[in-house]
Amino acid sequence: MEKKIILVTGGSRGIGEEFVRGFAAQGHRVVLNYSRSQQQAEEVSTSVENSGGAVFCQQADVSARDQVRAMFDAVEEHWGMVDILINNAGINLDGPFLPMEGEQWQRVVDVVLTGTFLCSQEYARRYQGTAGHIINMGAATALHGRKNGTNYCSAKAGVMTLTKCLARELAPAIAVNCVVPGFMETEEVMERFNLYDPDRRRDMENRVPQGRLGTTADIFRMTSFLVNEATYITGQNHFVNGGEYMG
């Protein structure tokens, strides 16, 4: 397996943390990006290093072009060109549509959609190889909608369309794919949907043909396949959701 330099945005917890740990364990060099959770990022980073992994922590708000540029500069100085970009950073600021203020809409669009645009552009402008890969994180709710999620679902729909546009523009040197999780058992989701309540959890599980919530490991397996094994695959949505949404 060829060892790569992989930049994971939002790598301090949840799915991103799984990517950082998993790819470092495979021997890749991993850039762990975060925006505010410095302590969590440093804990993950130290733990990966203690297990013999190579990790480089970089604070940057993915929605700010100057910070994104500075992050890529720092990585280049430290290790060299990024081989693979995983646009994982995301936020949810859920709320009903009618009272939603501009800031609640804009911040989610800025982080989820503009952040993916800015990081992808910075990566693609610098990439000089022939086997690059951008892996975005979508959401099935971008396709079927969700109450209280106009900002998030719309931004993720943008990410999924951006994936296809970039797959066409950046081919053949860079593949662009989108991994689309269903309901994953991350702390953020468990708290936002109150799934620590056993009844609510059971309700949610009953909506999934495979009968359980997803795990960060499920998402890692698909992403690891894309990073390490995929050939001749670009511009696709890769659903990992136990059959909850069949695209």
Which one of 19, 123, 127, 183 is in contact with ligand NAP (CB under 6 A)?
Answer: 183
Q: Is 63 in the site for ligand NAP (CB under 6 A)?
A: yes
Q: Please identify the residue of the shown chain whose CB is closest to the bound ligand NAP.
A: 14
Contacts of 133 (CB under 8 A, 6+ apart): 83, 84, 85, 174, 175, 176, 177, 226, 227
Please tell me the number of Cα atoms within 13 Å of 221 on its side-chain side. 7
Q: What positions carry a catalytic annotation? A: 152
- Rounded CA separation 99/24 (Å): 43
Q: Is 58 in the site for ligand NAP (CB under 6 A)?
A: no
**Is the Cβ of residue 159 or residue 174 nearer to ligand NAP in the bound state?**
159
Q: How many CB atoms lie within 10 A of CB 223?
A: 27
**Is the Cβ of residue 9 or residue 234 nearer to ligand NAP in the bound state?**
9
Q: Is 132 in the site for ligand NAP (CB under 6 A)?
A: no
- Rounded CA separation 87/37 (Å): 17
Q: Give, as ranges, the residues between 135 and 164 that touch ligand NAP (CB under 6 A).
A: 137, 139
Q: How many helices (H) and strands (E) does the chain have?
A: 10, 7
Say how many Å lie between the first and final Cα of the chain, rounded.
Answer: 31
**Minimum gap (Å) between residue 189 Cβ and ligand NAP:** 4
**Is the Cβ of residue 188 or residue 205 nearer to ligand NAP in the bound state?**
188
Size of the site for ligand NAP (CB under 6 A): 30
**Is the Cβ of residue 130 or residue 206 nearer to ligand NAP in the bound state?**
206
Q: Is 34 in the site for ligand NAP (CB under 6 A)?
A: yes
Per 3-state DSSP, the chain is made up of helix, strand and coil in percentages (nearest 5) of 45, 15, 35
User: For binding to ligand NAP (CB under 6 A), which residues are involved?
Assistant: 9-16, 33-37, 61-63, 88-91, 111, 115, 137, 139, 181, 183-184, 186, 188-189
